[in-house]
Chains A and B, each alone.
Chain A
Amino acid sequence: MINRNQISVARKEFTEMMRDGRFRWAAAIVLGLLLAALVMGWKHHREVSRQHEAARRETREQWLHQGAKNPHSAAHYGIYAFKPKMLPALLDRGVEPYTGVAVWLEAHKQNEFKYRPAADAAAVARFGELTASTVMQLLMPLLIILLLFPAFAGEREQGTLRQLLSIGARRTDLAIGKVLGVAGALGVLLLPATMLGTAALALAADDGAVGASAGRLVMMGVGYLLYFGIFVGISLAVSAAAASSRMALVVLLGFWIVNGMIAPRAAADLARQLHPTPSAFEFAQQIDRDMKNGLDGHDPADKRAQDLQRRVLAQYGVSKIEDLPVNFAGISLQEAEEHGNKVYEKHYSALWETFERQEILKRSLGVIAPMLSIRSISAGFAGTDFSHHRDFASSAENYRRVLVKAMNDDMTFNAGRSDYAYQAGPELWSSVDDFSYTAPTARWVLRRQAMSAVLLALWFVAAMGAAMGAAARVRVDV
């Protein structure tokens, strides 16, 4: 366990950092930015949640009070689905600025989400938004590097390393003490931030929402602690191995740049090249083609219509459409809808599988840069990654199918012979339940983030191992 020497080293490191003007300034800046990010995140979250909630209620009201109408017109009118915001989203906005805010659920078509907030923002937003996650993913590691690059190299340059070793301090005790010291200093910084963050979450939350997201928040916290640990380990290792503190700093800054700046973009571009996304044009054309010619390409729409007519006439044992006890327009609308659903199913699942493969590739590149793992974990538990978007989109699409089917069925069984002149009223509209969406559980996220979590843990172990290894071999003079 921890021995007295380690504690003395930790105390000395901690005191030194606290008295170091550089640390105080840097920590104040990081803390200030973190707090600003939390306040902004909280304001944004409150505003957007309010808008989405109001819009969700209004779209339902519009649906209920749309007046007497043919059910198929009502299906065309449709509703909009707005994705509810989860509480941890205020810490990490993830892909939210780059996904549309709403999707129109209407007859015949599975629409794309419209209006990406980023497209309405100024170009300067592409430098990255100020969120708690940016501060944690980019600035905290830099602060750690700043604190630790002279850990061994600096002691050696000042001659204090020789003294320490001469009085019998073990090299690994020094390393462990330094880890503890820096952990204490970061704790001084992170503790108030965590408390204020929790306060922001509690203020932004409706009753019980904090409790509901507690699991997600804890997982996110563990992820970040591992991530910081990686930087502590690497900084110590480099400082112990480097010829001078200057070299240590340059190497560590280089690592920071590759990890935080280059890796995310390079991984995204690689993913795009290995698993290319089709153009919106090509995607729409393929859907059109399948709609017209059938999924196998040999089942054109008019033939499908004739088959359906024959089948329905046979089913009811009549020879003319006029003799059917049900409305044929309703049946054929639903038949077309079912075919459309299959076509959309095929193309959207292919598209989303492509995105999923891109994500998996990016996550596996977490082997090279821990940033890729922590980004994935952070957005995953914040409920703002692509998987959550997909989950919501599928849920909205299922609702669309239920709604359109209810309209077509009403037409089939109640329209008689009046076809499109038939009108339904509020009873039909209210017979369709309101759209409600429950976000997936923390366990669901954990399954998806398993690879990133394992990679992050491996990095942590490797970084700490490297630190201890390099410390054990640290030389008194170069």
Chain B
Amino acid sequence: MLGRIIRHELRNLSADRTLTLVVMIFALLIGYGLYNGATWVDFQRATLRAAGEEEIARIAGARAVIEEIDSGRSEVPRFADPRSPAFAGGAGGARYAVMPPGPLAALAVGQSDLYPYYFKVTRQSRQTFTGNDEIENPALLSAGRFDPAFVIIYLYPLLILALCYNLLSQEKEQGTLQMIMSQPVALRTFVFGKVLLRATVVLVPAIVLTLIGFLALGGEIFAEGAWWRCLLWVLVVAAYGLFWFGAAILVNSIGGASASNALALAGMWLLLVLVLPSLLGVAASTSYPAPSRVEMIQAVRRASAEASAQGSRLLARYYEDHPELAPAGGAPDMNDFYARSIAVQTETEKMMQPVMEYFDRQVLGQQHLSENFRFLSPAVITQAALNDLSGASAHRYRHFLGLVEQFHHRWLEYFNPRILRQARLTARDYDSFPVFAFKEEPAGAVVARVMKGLLGLLVTTAVVVWLALRRLRRYPLTA
């Protein structure tokens, strides 16, 4: 019976040409989204490549200058001397800390257009190099990107609703429902058949098109972590779609006319995709108001002015704490610019620590709040899950920042003692500088977060479908 219903529906929909139209529009949208996503990934990769080349050239240049100096062919002032650890630990020998785009990056741009994805780590304080945002027209940033995630979160539900808003109401309005119900078929089976066909024609293209496009644009399915990310992506997209099918059945089961169904579903979409998320944003930012960056800038400035004012006293104290760091042979020079700046910077960071920690706590609080309440809207759950899978989430960025902080520590541990001892670097020392290596977030953490979201989607869908099935029992066959 189910097979007959499906075949009949297929004939109906094909004759209507709705089906072809919907699938074609969908293919077009996904294709355009993939193209945009891939462009952004290429842009990031090209930038990282250019940075890598610059680093290699710069370090080769420094080595060459050292050789020239050693052979007496050239002289350079101290601030540009590649043998000086202050120069090498600063801009001269700086290394890039890089977070490459994730394996599924083209599928969701997410927050990746707001977060820096590489830093030029130097011996200066972290604030000096962590502000290198990508340049972009702010109006384009605020519009957001037309990426596959946008198509999935916003448009895919609309296509589902366009196919399903008159699932039963139309049959009733045409009078065909009564005729069908006079046959030996249960209303539930009939609805199930109709939905099954529609779900197949929407979900299969959504998934297949995305994956084909992803592969066609050079996505590597065998890259580390790619296959399980793809699998979870498919599951999340399917679960989100099922939720909207459930919603359409629920609204149909109430028994209104096609036009009121369309209105109710449009209202639901508006509420879940536009209104609730923006209210959630408001709730997050009022419960955990981020202390303004404006005030933070001023706090940094106050702290560093205070620390610089006591420069030589700080340096004296620093040497008392670290007697082993005094230059070999002779008393330390209390006016040495680089030594003083180390002492000043250490003190500034110490003074700034509580301010920065408070700032981080508030930002994290906002994120936690919006994540805990994401279960209010399937659209927000899906956004969070897709960002996580593509590697465009705040979690991955925070993980990157943590790695950079560790690397910066290692960098300072390498250079500061050498600066204070006034050591001379050789060309060979350039090979022993600390090197940054990006490690992906542990897969377990990502999977756990995504699974939680997926579970949320499935539970919501189950509740909606259960409600719909209960209502269907009392469905009025005539208007």
Given contacts A124-B370, A268-B144, contact A80 B154 (CB under 8 A): no
Q: Are B297 and A94 within 8 A (Cβ)?
A: no
Contact A280 B133 (CB under 8 A): yes
Contact with B along A236-270 (1 / 0, CB 8 A): 00000000011001100100010001101111110
Tell whether B273 is near chain A: CB-to-CB under 8 Å.
Answer: yes
Q: Are B131 and A114 in contact (CB under 8 A)?
A: yes
Contacts of B273 in A (CB 8 A): 127
- Measured between C-beta atoms, what is the minimum distance from B449 to chain A in Å? 12
Partner of B294, one of A102, A129, A362: A102
CB-defined interface of B136-164 with A at 8 Å, one 1/0 digit per residue?
Answer: 11111111111000100011001000100
Chain B residues contacting A196 (CB-CB under 8 Å) are: none
Q: Name the residue on A nearest B44 (C-beta).
A: A279
The stretch from A10-18, A48-56, A314-322 touching chain B is A48-56
A48 to B289, CA, bound (A): 12
What residues on A are CB-neighbors of B293 within 8 Å? Answer: 101-102, 114-115, 117, 120
Asked whether B144 lies within 8 Å of A126 as measured between CB atoms, the reply is yes
Nearest opposing residue in chain B for A250, CB measure: B262
Contacts of B301 in A (CB 8 A): 59, 62, 80
In the assembled complex, the Cα of A116 lies from the Cα of B162 at a distance in Å of: 38
Contact of B274 among A55, A58, A99, A127 (CB under 8 A): A127
8 Å CB contact of B137 from A82, A130, A246, A359: A359
Say which size band chain B's interface belongs to: 35 or more
- Docked Cα-Cα span, A48 to B285, in Å, equals 14
Count of chain A residues with a beta carbon within 8 Å of a chain B beta carbon = 85
Which of A162-170, A217-225, A281-289, A396-404 forms part of the interface with chain B? A281-289
- Is A450 part of the contact surface with B, judged by Cβ < 8 Å? no
Residues of chain A within 8 A of B275, CB atoms compared: 33
Is B380 an interface residue when CB atoms closer than 8 A count as contact?
A: yes
**Are the C-beta atoms of B141 and A112 separated by less than 8 Å?**
no
Report whether B294 and A51 are in contact in the complex, using a CB–CB cutoff of 8 Å.
Answer: yes
Which residues from B are CB-within-8-Å of A246?
A: 166, 257-259, 262
Please determine whether A100 and B282 come into contact, CB atoms closer than 8 angstroms.
no
> Given that A123-B383, A277-B137 are contacting pairs, would A269 and B305 also be in contact in the complex, using a CB cutoff of 8 Å?
no
**CB-nearest residue of chain A relative to B261?**
A246
A348–B297 alpha-carbon span in the complex (Å): 24
B280: A residues at CB distance < 8 A: 124
A18 to B136, alpha carbons, bound, how many Å? 47
Known contacts A62-B301, A281-B50; A253/B135 CB under 8 A = no
B402 at the interface (CB under 8 A from A): no
Determine whether A1 belongs to the interface, using a CB cutoff of 8 Å to chain B.
Answer: no
| Nearest A residue to B266, CB-CB | A253
Contacts of B270 in A (CB 8 A): 139, 142
- The answer to whether B403 has its CB under 8 Å from any CB of chain A is no
Contact B263 A125 (CB under 8 A): no
Pick the contact of A279 from B115, B135, B284, B367 — CB < 8 Å?
A: B135
The residue in chain A whose Cβ has the minimal distance to the Cβ of B397 is A119
Q: A126-B111, A273-B39, A280-B132 are in contact. Are A362 and B139 (CB under 8 A)?
A: yes
Contacts A272-B140, A280-B134, A281-B50: A123 and B387 contacting too (C-beta < 8 A)? yes
Given the known inter-chain contacts A100-B133, A124-B374, A124-B383, please indicate yes or no for A261 contacting B50, CB distance below 8 A.
no
In the complex, the chain A residue whose C-beta lies closest to that of B288 is A122
Structural contact, A278 and B282, CB atoms closer than 8 A: no
- A121 contacts chain B at the CB level, 8 A cutoff: yes
B378 to chain A, nearest CB (A): 13
Alpha-carbon distance between A381 and B162 when the two chains are bound, in angstroms: 37
Residue of A nearest to B166 (CB): A246
8 Å CB contacts to B: which residues of A139-195? Answer: 139, 142, 146, 149-150
Are A386 and B138 touching (Cβ within 8 A)? yes
Q: A121-B281, A126-B111, A250-B262 are in contact. Are A112 and B135 (CB under 8 A)?
A: yes
Bound complex: CA A282 to CA B285 (Å)? 35
B379: interface (CB < 8 Å): yes
Bound CA span A279–B36, Å: 16
Asked whether, in the complex, the Cβ of A51 is within 8 Å of the Cβ of B277, the reply is no
Q: Does B295 contact A (CB under 8 A)?
A: yes
Least CB distance, B436 to chain A, in whole angstroms: 17
Q: Mark B425-463, 1 if CB is under 8 A from A, else 0.
A: 000000000000000000000000000000000000000
B212 within 8 A of A: no
Interchain nearest-CB distance for A447 vs B (Å): 18
Residue of A nearest to B40 (CB): A272
Given that A59-B298, A101-B294 are known contacts, is A95 also in contact with B138, CB under 8 Å in the complex?
yes
CB nearest to A260 among chain B residues:
B274
Within B341-398, the residues touching A (CB, 8 Å) are 363, 366-367, 369-371, 374, 379-380, 383-384, 387, 393-394
Q: How far is the CA of A278 from the CA of B135 in the complex (A)?
A: 7
Q: Are A264 and B281 in contact (CB under 8 A)?
A: no
The answer to whether A121 and B258 touch across the interface, beta carbons within 8 angstroms, is no
In the complex where A124-B280, A265-B145, A269-B145 touch, is A119 in contact with B383 (Cβ < 8 A)?
no
Contacts of B257 in A (CB 8 A): 246
The yes or no answer to B79 lying at the interface (CB within 8 A) is no
By a CB distance below 8 angstroms, the chain A residues around B50 are 279, 281-282, 285
Q: How far is the CA of A253 from the CA of B155 in the complex (A)?
A: 12
Is A444 at the interface (CB under 8 A from chain B)? no
- Cα distance A266–B384 when bound, in Å? 22
A249 to B257, CA, bound (A): 13
Asked if B80 CB lies within 8 Å of chain A CBs, one says no
Given contacts A51-B294, A66-B305, A129-B278, A281 and B138 within 8 Å (CB-CB): no
In the complex, which residues of chain A have a beta carbon less than 8 angstroms from the beta carbon of B134?
A: 279-280
Is B207 interfacial (CB-CB < 8 Å)?
A: no
Give the residues from 342 to 387 in chain A that come closer than 8 angstroms, CB to CB, to chain B: 351, 354-355, 358-359, 362, 379, 385-386
Residues of B within 8 A of A122 (CB): 281, 284-285, 366-367, 369-371, 394
User: Chain A residues with Cβ under 8 A from B131's Cβ?
Assistant: 114-115
**In the complex, which of the residues A55, A253, A272 contacts B298, with contact meaning CB atoms closer than 8 Å?**
A55
Contact A245 B141, beta carbon cutoff 8 Å? no
Contact B137 A355 (CB under 8 A): yes
Q: Which residue of B lies closest to A29 (CB)?
A: B275
**B24 touches A (CB below 8 Å):** no
**Does the CB pair A123–B384 fall under 8 Å?**
yes
**Given A269-B146, A279-B47, A102 contacting B383 (CB threshold 8 A):** no
Most buried by A among B132, B274, B363, B367: B274
Say whether A55 contacts B295, CB under 8 Å: yes
Name the distance in Å between A235's Cβ and chain B's nearest Cβ.
14
How many Å from the CB of A168 to the closest CB on chain B?
29
List B contacts of A128 (CB < 8 A).
274, 277-278
- Closest residue of chain A to B144 (Cβ to Cβ) is A265
Additional A-B contacts beyond A128-B278, A129-B278, A358-B137 (20; CB < 8 A): A33-B275, A36-B282, A47-B292, A48-B292, A95-B142, A101-B293, A116-B138, A122-B366, A122-B371, A123-B393, A123-B394, A125-B281, A125-B285, A128-B274, A130-B281, A265-B143, A281-B51, A351-B135, A354-B137, A386-B138
A-B contact pairs, 29 of them (CB 8 A): A59-B301, A62-B301, A82-B294, A94-B142, A95-B142, A99-B138, A101-B293, A112-B135, A116-B133, A117-B293, A120-B293, A123-B111, A123-B394, A126-B144, A129-B281, A130-B279, A246-B166, A257-B158, A261-B154, A265-B144, A265-B146, A268-B144, A271-B137, A277-B140, A279-B135, A282-B50, A285-B50, A359-B137, A386-B137
Measured CB to CB, the residues of A under 8 A from B are: 22, 33, 36, 40, 47-48, 51-52, 54-55, 58-59, 62, 66-67, 80, 82, 94-95, 97-102, 112, 114-130, 134, 138-139, 142, 146, 149-150, 245-246, 249-250, 253, 257, 261-262, 264-269, 271-273, 277-283, 285, 351, 354-355, 358-359, 362, 379, 385-386, 389
Nearest 4 CB-CB pairs, A to B? A127-B277, A268-B143, A95-B138, A98-B138
Residues on B facing A (Cβ under 8 Å)? 32, 36, 39, 43, 46-47, 50-51, 54, 110-111, 114-115, 131-146, 150, 154-155, 158, 162, 166, 257-259, 262-263, 266, 270, 273-275, 277-282, 284-286, 290, 292-295, 297-298, 301-302, 305, 309, 363, 366-367, 369-371, 374, 379-380, 383-384, 387, 393-394
